């Protein structure tokens, strides 16, 4: 892997982890389009840590408030504080994806990480985004979310184990269907991403350790570039999408997924 490949894949991970266009789909299809070799597992760890850094830095005030609320709740045994309730909702929303990932991730990645299937699942993402806009977003705030809302959004996140199904797209769409404004739904989606991105990076890191993968001198540069690109681009995309969704709909992202999915599917079928 050279520095240019690392930069492109880092930018892809940073952008598509948060934009509703599927990071897993792009990380399968773009190297396939360009005829690049599969990146080493250690590189996947680096770019996942980059996107985790982005969401932690962007929402650092939120995470600090949530940690304080959690510590206070343990001492007082009270969950009435809004930050404590939000922390519990994030934990609750993480459960479906954690269960599905622990039980089925390897099987799903092996079975479905084929270009034609990933392209087909991109079309599913396009349909989900389009249909969510047929619902009327409400005016509820994060503080108004219920346990049912968190479970619905968390279940949508679990479905994104399929490569090509966007995690952010499915969770934002689920939040809209549950009556959340687009920007509020995106905010909860990004907060919900942190535990899952951390878990994915930790699992891949464990696979590297147990597999005794060697870190060659030539790989250090691509690891640093990939991490930095994913972190910086991820931060910018979080900032941009939260502002975009205050006044724009998801139709543009749906159209992009549909076009890229159809083109990739045609090439995969006829090549």
pLDDT by 10-residue block (mean), the chain, 271 residues: 92 94 91 88 86 95 93 82 92 92 71 84 95 83 91 94 92 93 94 88 71 67 94 96 91 96 92 75
Report the distance separating Cα 10 and Cα 195, nearest Å: 20
What are the angstrom distances between the C-alpha of 218 and each of 40, 57, 221?
12, 29, 7
**Domain spans, the chain:** 3-270
Give the residue carrying structure tokens 């599913």. Answer: 124
Amino acid 96: pLDDT: 93
* Count of all residues that appear for the chain in the document: 271
Report the distance separating Cα 182 and Cα 167, nearest Å: 15
pTM score of the predicted model = 0.91
What are the angstrom distances between the C-alpha of 8 and each of 34, 164, 264?
11, 18, 19
Amino acid 79: pLDDT: 77
Q: How far is CA 50 from its chain centroid? A: 12
What are the φ and ψ backbone dihedral angles of 257, each rounded to 5 degrees? -60, -40
Amino acid 93: pLDDT: 94
Q: How far is CA 172 from its chain centroid? A: 11
Amino acid 220: pLDDT: 86
What are the angstrom distances between the C-alpha of 186 and each of 1, 15, 82, 264, 270?
33, 14, 18, 27, 37
Amino acid 125: pLDDT: 96
Find out whether 187 and 241 touch, Cβ atoms under 8 Å.
Answer: no
Find out whether 53 and 10 touch, Cβ atoms under 8 Å.
Answer: no
Radius of gyration, alpha carbons of the chain: 18
Find out whether 129 and 253 touch, Cβ atoms under 8 Å.
Answer: yes
What are the φ and ψ backbone dihedral angles of 184, each rounded to 5 degrees? -65, -40
């Amino acid at each position: 892997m050279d520095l240019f490949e690392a930069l492109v894949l880092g930018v892809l991970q940073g952008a598509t982890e948060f934009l509703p266009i599927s990071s897993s789909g792009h990380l399968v299809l773009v190297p396939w389009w360009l005829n690049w070799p599969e990146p080493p597992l250690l590189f996947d760890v680096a770019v996942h840590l980059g996107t985790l850094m982005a969401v932690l830095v962007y929402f650092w005030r939120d995470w600090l408030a949530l940690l304080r609320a959690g510590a206070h709740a343990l001492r007082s045994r009270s969950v009435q504080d809004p930050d404590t309730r939000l922390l519990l909702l994030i934990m609750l929303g993480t459960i479906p994806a954690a269960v599905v990932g622990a039980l089925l991730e390897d099987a799903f990645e092996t079975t479905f990480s084929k270009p034609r299937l990933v392209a087909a699942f991109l079309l599913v993402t396009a349909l989900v985004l389009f249909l969510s806009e047929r619902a009327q977003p409400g005016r509820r705030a994060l503080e108004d979310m219920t346990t049912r809302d968190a479970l619905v959004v968390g279940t949508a996140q679990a479905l994104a184990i399929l490569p090509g199904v966007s995690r952010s797209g499915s969770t934002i769409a689920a939040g809209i269907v549950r009556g959340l404004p687009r920007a509020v739904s995106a905010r909860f989606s990004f907060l919900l991403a942190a535990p899952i991105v951390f878990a994915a990076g930790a699992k891949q890191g464990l696979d590297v350790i147990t597999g005794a993968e060697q870190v060659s001198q030539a790989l250090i540069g691509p690891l640093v570039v990939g991490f930095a690109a994913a972190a910086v681009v991820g931060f910018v995309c979080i900032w941009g999408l939260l502002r975009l969704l205050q006044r724009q709909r998801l139709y543009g992202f749906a159209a992009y997924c549909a076009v890229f999915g159809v083109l990739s599917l045609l090439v995969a079928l006829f090549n």
